Chains A and B, each alone.
Chain A
Amino acid sequence: DVQLVETGGGLIQPGGSLRLSCAASGFTVINNYMCWVRQAPGKGLEWVSIIYRGGTTYYADSVKGRFTITRDHSSNTLYLQMDSLRAEDTAVYFCARVSLDYVDDPTYYYYTLDVWGQGATVSVSS
Chain B
Amino acid sequence: DIQMTQSPSSLSASVGDRVTITCRASQGIRNDLGWYQQKPGKAPQRLIYAASSLHSGVPSRFSGSGSGTEFTLTISSLQPEDFASYYCLQHNSYPWTFGQGTKVEVK
Do A and B form a real pair? yes
Name A residues whose Cβ lies closer than 8 Å to a Cβ of B. 37, 44-47, 50, 58-61, 94, 96, 101, 103, 110-114, 116-119
Residues of B within 8 A of A118 (CB): 43
- Evaluate contact between B49 and A47: CB separation under 8 angstroms: no
Residues of B within 8 A of A61 (CB): 1, 95
- Evaluate contact between A101 and B49: CB separation under 8 angstroms: yes
Chain B: interface residue count, which band?
20 to 34
Q: Please, what's the 1-or-0 string for B26-43, where 1 marks a CB less than 8 Å from any CB in chain A?
A: 000001101010100001
Query: In the complex, what distance in Å separates the CA atom of A61 from the CA atom of B3?
Result: 13
For residue B18, CB closer than 8 A to chain A, the reply is: no
- Evaluate contact between B53 and A46: CB separation under 8 angstroms: no
For residue B83, CB closer than 8 A to chain A, the reply is: no
User: CB < 8 Å: which of A58, A110, A117 contacts B34?
Assistant: A110
